[in-house]
Amino acid sequence: MNILRFKFTYNSIPRLAFVLPAIFFLCSCTTTEIDEFRQSPTAISFDESIVILGRRQNNNYETEEDFVTCVADVVSRGQNSISVVDEQLFLDAMFPFFEPRTAPMRTGHLEQLMAVDVAADKLEEFGIEYIVWLDGITERSDQSGSISCTIGPGGGGCFGFGTWTDDSNFEAEIWDLDTMSSVGSISTDANGQSYMPAVVIPIPLIARVEANACSGLGNQLKQFINGSGT
């Protein structure tokens, strides 16, 4: 890791005023890649719903609840929107069948679950046609730079420059409750460089990798379930 250190004086601030606008042209850009793998045709009618659930069985991480909510919002709004059952509402109603220790990990487990009358009846009551499992995480890496903040008799401020990379990797696996099989999956990889210049005050230029991953995955998922995915 490279450590960058800067020495500033208040006399240098006027010169930095010309440099600061150039920093904004660095812009925290994000690149997003989406891959789709389809195994079976899909379709959904206006009176059917889906539920989007985050995988939380991994010992190293849990899929963020906010990301699951974000994808659900994208799928349930706009053109060709799909009715999405709220995750927490579903988990509460289906307790204990979808708790981390008991949730079906494979479609073979789904067949066992559907053999339980109370679980099958509740799924039918919700009108759920597809279960979507989200799995993934956002990680930060390649951090470099240094920012120092001081307070003195004449005032204070922060000076320096920092940068880092954020990488969001998420995958959605879609299960069809009619056939009790996996009909395909969609994966997204969004990464971007963020910057934090500080001249008196820090100015974060944050790459919106998770927001872009959510938007891309949600829109592709909507197309996939409606039968128009590639």
CA distances, 188 to each of 32, 176, 208 (Å): 7, 21, 14
Express each pLDDT in 127-138 by its tens digit. 999 999 999 999
pLDDT for residue 104: 92
Strand partners, 139: 167
Express each pLDDT in 3-38 by its tens digit. 333 333 334 444 444 444 445 445 557 899 999 999
More confident residue, 4 or 181: 181
The C-alpha torsion from 217 through 220 and 222 to 228, rounded to 10°, is -170
pLDDT for residue 164: 84
Burial 124-137 (b: 16+ CB within 10 A, else e): eebebbbbbbbbbb
Q: What is the mean pLDDT of residues 72-78?
A: 97
- Look up residue 14 and give its two tokens: 């006027």
Query: How far does the chain reach from its first CA to its final CA, in angstroms?
Result: 41
pLDDT for residue 27: 53
Q: State percent of the chain over pLDDT 70.
A: 86
Domains and CATH numbers, the chain: 10-225 (3.30.160)
Q: What is the pTM of this model?
A: 0.80
